[in-house]
Amino acid sequence: MLEGLVIDHVGIAVKSIEKALQLWNVGLGAKTGHRELVESQKVTVAFLETGEGKTELLEPTEADSPIAKFIEKKGEGIHHIAYRTPHLEDTMARLKKNGARLIYDTPQPGSHGTQINFVHPGSAGGVLIELVEYPTREELS
């Protein structure tokens, strides 16, 4: 059964991770963890260690990146909230059955070797929801 929903991270769209880290690291004292290029989303991400719910800074790497388009339209700011799911495809099937719109038909590769998808804001009260499934131990080895 479902074990409830846990926030994995909050995603914030920024023009420059380096510039944003002045506030997050130096000003607010957040520790920077993992940094990674996520090619499927055309972004570089930097994770801040802000407890169990992390903070993800996303900087576009291409002009046609979804994050570049977001910044162009709305400016820098909160882009999505990500929740962990133990089985992404089951969750996707359940959401579709309930009439929710998903951004992708199949899971996409995210950072940390995860599989991800998004629930369209039009189906989620204006919030872009990311779903994250972490690899199991067997898949990592």
Q: Which residues bind Zn ion (CB under 5 A)?
A: 11, 56, 82, 130
In angstroms, what is the minimal distance from the CB of 132 to Zn ion?
7
Q: Is the CB of 21 or the CB of 58 nearer to Zn ion? A: 58
Please give the Cα distance from 107 to 117 (Å, whole number). Answer: 6
Residue nearest to Zn ion (CB): 11
Question: Three-state SS for 81?
Answer: strand
Q: Is the CB of 74 or the CB of 97 nearer to Zn ion? A: 74
In angstroms, what is the minimal distance from the CB of 9 to Zn ion?
6
Distance of CA 71 to the CA centre of its chain: 15
The residues pairing with 84 across neighbouring beta strands, listed in sequence order, are: 6, 132
